[in-house]
Structure 1
Amino acid sequence: MTPLADEITTLTHNTGFSGVVSVDRAGTTEFAGAYGLAHRGLGVPNTVDTRFMIASGTKGFTALTVMGLVADGGLTLDTTARSVLGKDLPLVDDTVTVEHLLGHRSGIGEFYPDQAPITDYNMPGRPQDLLHTEQYLPILDGHPQVFEPGSRFEYSNSGYVLLGLIAERVSGIPFHDLVVERVCAPAGMPDTAFHRLDTPESRMALGYLEIDGEWRTNVYHLPIRGAGDGGIFTTVADFARFWPALFDGAIVPKDTVANMIRVHSEVPEEKMAYGLGFWLRGSSVLLEGYDPGVSFRSVHTPETGLTYTVISNTADGAWPITRRLAEVLD
């Protein structure tokens, strides 16, 4: 066992980590390990090919889907949300554009209370009613505009749900299928897709959170099927393929990638910057996500080909591992 592998294994043991860790460099896997349980009741262990939800890591896939439509001429960055919404969501400012939404600079009202405790049941409405993208319209409605579009950065789940709706309406293809067609297939990611949370399939980890001293699944905490803001399932192997495919231009053209990973907003409170769908830290590009029963971060450095990915089926499991990997590898 290498020193890095030994340290990761010790850290996962000390923190009770449940999930998968992988480190790849230029197409070679330097470390991959699985820990904990995918199903606590049945004692099913996580494996390196277990499929996990990645919460807001999905936003990068949504952004690439939208930018693929832009590259093809179906949309422009200046397309207004209103031109696609018609009379729907009347509180969204008429000047909000696709670019505002991609960069979290739209100022539209937020449907999901990010500051609430992770163990609370925070989803508005009934999670079981949120299966198709159009079904999100009622929970997106009724939230007033917060600030003038383009005037500042404010992270927005609503904005990315709206991007998924725009992509679906413009393309005429259901959003979940469109992401697979536009991103997962060209990137060679066979295990990445939106699945129903109430229908566990093979190699799917259940998400867990501790409530009143008991481990409970997150089935009542999240939509039954994700949308543009989160909810896709993936594996670490798929993410090892994702980053090279992205930078090779297999998903969208290379000049589009360059625009997406250019700094569009400084976010000092996160000690990072934001592009269009991706977090930026120094020379590295990141996707990350946090939800009840989900924590995820994947970091890629194009210059060196280094990728490290940590996915956990608990809300806090990934963070001690990602912090240490950042110290060692970045």
Structure 2
Amino acid sequence: MRVDVAGEPVIARAYGLADRANEIANTTDTRFGIASGCKPFTALAVLSLIAEGTLDLSTTARSVLGSDLPLIDDEVTIEQLLSHRSGIGDYIDEEDPSLDLADYVMPVPVQQLATTEQYLAVLDGFPQKFPPGERFSYCNGAYVVLALIAERASGIAFHELIEARVCRPAGMTDTAFLRSDELPRRAALGYVEMDGAIRTNVFHLPVRGSGDGGIYSTVADVAAFWTALFERRLVSEAWVAEMMRSRSDDASDTSRCGLGLFLHKTRDVAMADGMDAGVSFRSVHDPAMSTTHTVISNTGDGAWPLTRALDDALDLT
């Protein structure tokens, strides 16, 4: 975990083990999977393409997808995908009360999901839940569709696009879509409790993430991301304002939804979070107070007690 004030770390702590079998401890520069914490990066890649005129918020998914994913309504736009208002069917529907992320939820062997185009195999076959734009409904699949759109429109592989449009200009040198079956030094294994045993999450998640999740990062890189975003090094001031403008005030009891970012219920505070098998992540940035707090864990629930305590300590409840 890490707390930054005015761009400088004031607290940085690490707990637990990155590799239980080899008793390798987590450190403050351990690289963790951050699950849906990468959705803001996907949004920024798309917005950068809009800013240069390659796409538009009103561009329809159909105009880029062609005949792929025919159950997506022809009127679904990039803006609706970014703001979780597209209504498309989701391949991992977090509104399903029976969903257990500790289960093996991927419908194809996870090693077959290494490129964004390969995700077509899991995105297809889900009908629209409601007409485009009708209401908010959190959607993982929407962000994989956005990754497909960005890749096809730019002609640049999605993972390379994130590196070029987000990581490099933000100075995020330890952030990348790593393969779970060849993790480098300083990368933490994710752990899941199943059948009374603690196991790694290597069979639970795609071998390499895409637009909805799966990037690896560090607490320092996440802090660098917020600094770069609000210093307008990633997109212009106008586009930062668009990201921070609520499209759904009722995203949850505690948050609103902008473009790629969740927002505090009553304040202009930006939030990113993620949860998956063997992953929990939350980062909160208050631009007015120049404060950031980030907690990343390599278990599915490890981040939540500490991030709630930091909310209380920094008056962000």
Q: Which TM-score band (shorter chain)?
A: over 0.9
The corresponding residue for 2:74 is 94
Identity between Structure 1 and Structure 2 (%):
57
Residues 237-256 of structure 1: matches in 2 within 5 Å? 237-256=220-239
Task: State the secondary structure of the residue aligned to 1:131.
Answer: coil
CA RMSD, Structure 1 to Structure 2 (Å):
0.9
Tell me which of 34, 37, 53 is aligned to 2:33: 53
The corresponding residue for 2:212 is 229
Q: Is the 8 A contact 1:207 1:292 kept in 2?
A: yes
- Quote the offset at 1:113 in angstroms: 3.7
> Residue 316 in 1 paired to residue 301 in 2?
yes
The corresponding residue for 2:171 is 188
Tell me which of 102, 116, 124 is aligned to 1:133: 116
Q: Is the 8 A contact 1:190 1:238 kept in 2?
A: yes
Are the structure 2 counterparts of residues 29 and 205 from structure 1 closer, same or farther at C-alpha, using a change threshold of 3 Å?
same
Q: Is the 8 A contact 2:93 2:140 kept in 1?
A: no
Task: State the secondary structure of the residue aligned to 1:198.
Answer: helix
Q: Is the 8 A contact 1:113 1:122 kept in 2?
A: no
- Quote the offset at 1:267 in angstroms: 2.4
The corresponding residue for 2:131 is 148
Q: Is the 8 A contact 2:251 2:257 kept in 1?
A: no
Task: State the secondary structure of the residue aligned to 2:249.
Answer: strand
The corresponding residue for 1:287 is 272
Residues 94-113 of structure 1: matches in 2 within 5 Å? 94-113=74-93
Aligned-partner residue type, residue 220 of structure 2: A
- The unaligned stretches of length 5 or more in structure 2 are none
For residues 128-160 of structure 1, the C-alpha deviation after alignment (integer angstroms, 9 at most, x for no partner) is 100000001121111101100011000000100
Aligned-partner residue type, residue 206 of structure 2: P
Tell me which of 223, 237, 241 is aligned to 1:258: 241
Aligned-partner residue type, residue 145 of structure 1: Q
- Quote the offset at 1:247 in angstroms: 0.7
Aligned-partner residue type, residue 210 of structure 2: A
TM-score (structure 2 length as normaliser):
0.96
TM-score (structure 1 length as normaliser):
0.93
- Quote the offset at 1:297 in angstroms: 0.3
Are the structure 2 counterparts of residues 96 and 319 from structure 1 closer, same or farther at C-alpha, using a change threshold of 3 Å?
same
The corresponding residue for 1:14 is none
Q: Is the 8 A contact 2:200 2:278 kept in 1?
A: yes
- Quote the offset at 1:204 in angstroms: 0.2
For residues 17-70 of structure 1, the C-alpha deviation after alignment (integer angstroms, 9 at most, x for no partner) is xxxx10000022110001100000000000100000000011000000000000
Q: Is the 8 A contact 2:34 2:280 kept in 1?
A: yes
- Quote the offset at 1:268 in angstroms: 5.3
- The unaligned stretches of length 5 or more in structure 1 are 1-20
The 2-side partners of 1:167 and 1:99 are apart by: 13
Aligned-partner residue type, residue 291 of structure 1: D
Aligned-partner residue type, residue 319 of structure 1: W
Tell me which of 189, 193, 196 is aligned to 1:206: 189
Are the structure 2 counterparts of residues 78 and 222 from structure 1 closer, same or farther at C-alpha, using a change threshold of 3 Å?
same
- Quote the offset at 1:271 in angstroms: 1.6
Task: State the secondary structure of the residue aligned to 2:14.
Answer: strand
Aligned-partner residue type, residue 225 of structure 1: R
The 2-side partners of 1:202 and 1:174 are apart by: 25
The corresponding residue for 2:53 is 73
Q: Is the 8 A contact 2:93 2:139 kept in 1?
A: no
Aligned-partner residue type, residue 285 of structure 1: A
The corresponding residue for 1:296 is 281
The corresponding residue for 2:19 is 39
- Quote the offset at 1:270 in angstroms: 3.6
Aligned residues: 310
